[in-house]
Amino acid sequence: MPLLFKKNDSSKGEPARVAVDDRLRHIAFILDGNGRWAKKRGLPREYGHSEGAQTFKRIVRYCGDIGIKIVTVYAFSTENWSRPKNEVDRIVSLLDEYIAGAERELEENKIRYTFLGDKSVFAAPMAERMTRLEQISSGYELRLNIALNYGSRAEIVRACRELAESGEEINERTLSDHLYTAGCPDPDLIVRTANERRLSNFLLWQAAYSELYFTPTLWPDMQPADVDAAVRDFYARERRFGGVTPK
Ligand code: FPP
């Protein structure tokens, strides 16, 4: 089936935008290149993160506009704590501001938020804001998962430990049910920016059959047109999930 296009208002001269169907329900982004974006401009790395946070809002909105139901972003890994303190502080405060804003704008944006990762390491008011946002947004359909203080290996170990403690049968379904992403379909497409080609401990279990897309664009420069390019590339692929193409 060909890629779907949304007809825009041609009187405004807008190019046709991509639109998706159920084959692309879930897109995940590994945000990379904030530091390089700032360095290219002779600015401290923190500026790259501020710009990256603006880009994040723009791209999430665009994904919703073209019909993607679930967006996941890798915003802060368990390894990111090893960065200089001022950089970590800036990223965490950007995230905290974003979370507070998401609560204020919840009725307008109608997004269901889930945080992937261990919240307990954040200051109590921020951790409480995260939990509250998850609770009050749980009825909405469009989903935004934000991986924060997240590492996939730790997530899998945690799930195994919970299963061992509960005495539940261990199988793929029960393990999936104990991941931070429980109940959420696996990503169909994972996009990584800034020319790096690895998963960096992101959704290792959930990415078993995800399509991977790598772009040289630095995250703060990411535009709707770059999302369109990733979506077009996704639709040009054949997903067989280990099977064969039906004749
Ligand atoms: C990767 O770029 C980016 C991060 C580790 C942090 C991402 C954080 C934000 C975009 C800010 C907060 C976001 C939200 C969701 C409001 P890098 O610093 O590794 O870039 P580099 O590889 O060029 O150094």
Q: What CATH number corresponds to the domain at position 52?
A: 3.40.1180.10
Residue type, 106: L
Residue type, 231: V
pLDDT in tens, 154-182: 999 999 999 999 999 999 999 999 999 99
Distance from residue 180's CA to the centre of ligand 1 (Å): 21
Distance from residue 32's CA to the centre of ligand 1 (Å): 6
pLDDT in tens, 14-43: 666 888 999 999 999 999 999 999 999 999
Query: Which positions ≥6 away from 136 have C-beta within 8 Å?
Result: 103, 106
Q: Which atom of ligand 1 lies at the shortest distance from residue 38's CA?
A: 23
Nearest Cα to 62, choosing from 17, 12, 105?
Answer: 17
What percentage of the chain's residues is helix, strand, coil (to nearest 5)? Answer: 45, 15, 35
Asked if residue 14 belongs to a domain, the reply is no
Q: For the chain, how many structural domains are there in total?
A: 1
Q: Which domain holds residue 35?
A: 25-235
Asked if residue 40 belongs to a domain, the reply is yes
Asked if residue 167 belongs to a domain, the reply is yes
pTM for the model stands at 0.93
Residue whose Cα lies nearest atom 22 of ligand 1: it is: 33
pLDDT in tens, 109-127: 999 999 999 999 999 999 9
Asked if residue 104 belongs to a domain, the reply is yes
pLDDT in tens, 56-113: 999 999 999 999 999 999 999 999 999 999 999 999 999 999 999 999 999 999 999 9
